[in-house]
Amino acid sequence: MEKERTIRVTGKGNLKVHPDMTRVTIDITRVYREYSETLKRASMDTKALRILLSRFGFEHSDLKTVHFSVDTEMETYREDDVYKQRLIGYRYTHSTKIEFDSDNERLGKILYALAHSSLEPKFRLSYTVKDPEAVKNNLLSRAVKDAKEKAKILTAAADVELGGILSIDYSWREITFEEHPLQLIEEKIPCSEPLASYDLDIEPDDISASDTVTIIWKIKQK
């Protein structure tokens, strides 16, 4: 029996999407002598952060934990010409994030409040898309269309006809839609107005994304 002839083509979908969501990632880290005190303070600081953010319209559940850890904090010292280590306490690190529809005025107020907070957080700014699934589906559609167009060109050049699809191979992978427009490094300066704001004029660049799909078709003589 004659082996069925096929053509295998990989299509690629490309697009650029303009980010419409702002993400602020907030890191707080502190060291305390006792483990129980560290956990207690971590909880108190998170509560204080939620209260701060509530002034800008955020609900309790809007602050999402990205990472939380408690590690021993050691220091090195010298004794009788020998270097040793001793425990000085426990360091907690809590990374959280908030996301909201992009709004430079609201963002400026949030960043100002964080920069002047007694929590002394570090924060990073990035932009993403509100509906990543819709973007991924668009990418797949473009990849399939690209594969079909390539298959038509190849079969026409080889003087054969494109038959039915035998298989579609798509290896799912995580696609991250995130743009980092700048690094934020703020100095601590006195502040008497709790709702003061940074005057921000940030326009993030479009996010480039791509995905691939491989399709196998039957081919036959004309």
Domain boundaries, the chain: 1-19+130-185+208-222, 21-128
In this predicted structure, what is the pLDDT of residue 29?
96
Pick out the chain residues at pLDDT < 50.
1, 185-194
In this predicted structure, what is the pLDDT of residue 2?
58
What value, to the nearest 5°, has the Cα angle with vertex 220 and ends 216 and 222?
140
Are 131 and 20 spatial neighbours (Cβ–Cβ below 8 Å)?
A: no
SS3 label, residue 83: strand
Q: Give dist(CA 133, CA 36) in Å, integer.
A: 42
Q: Do domains 1-19+130-185+208-222 and 21-128 have the same CATH topology?
A: no
Q: What is the DSSP letter of 5?
A: P
C-alpha distances out from residue 211 to 46, 142, 170, 177, 216, Å: 38, 9, 9, 13, 17
In this predicted structure, what is the pLDDT of residue 182?
57
Cross-strand pairs, 97 = 25, 64
Structure tokens at 1: 């029996």
Of the candidates 53, 193, 24, the residue with the CA atom closest to the CA atom of residue 119 = 53
pLDDT (tens digit per residue) in 183-205: 554 444 444 444 567 777 778 88
C-alpha distances out from residue 173 to 37, 81, 91, 209, Å: 41, 54, 35, 12
Task: Please determine, looking at this structure, whether the domain spanning 1-19+130-185+208-222 carries the CATH number 3.30.110.170.
Answer: yes
pTM assigned to the model = 0.76
Structure tokens at 15: 């697009």
Position 208, amino acid: S
In this predicted structure, what is the pLDDT of residue 95?
97
CATH topology for 21-128? Alpha-Beta Plaits (3.30.70)
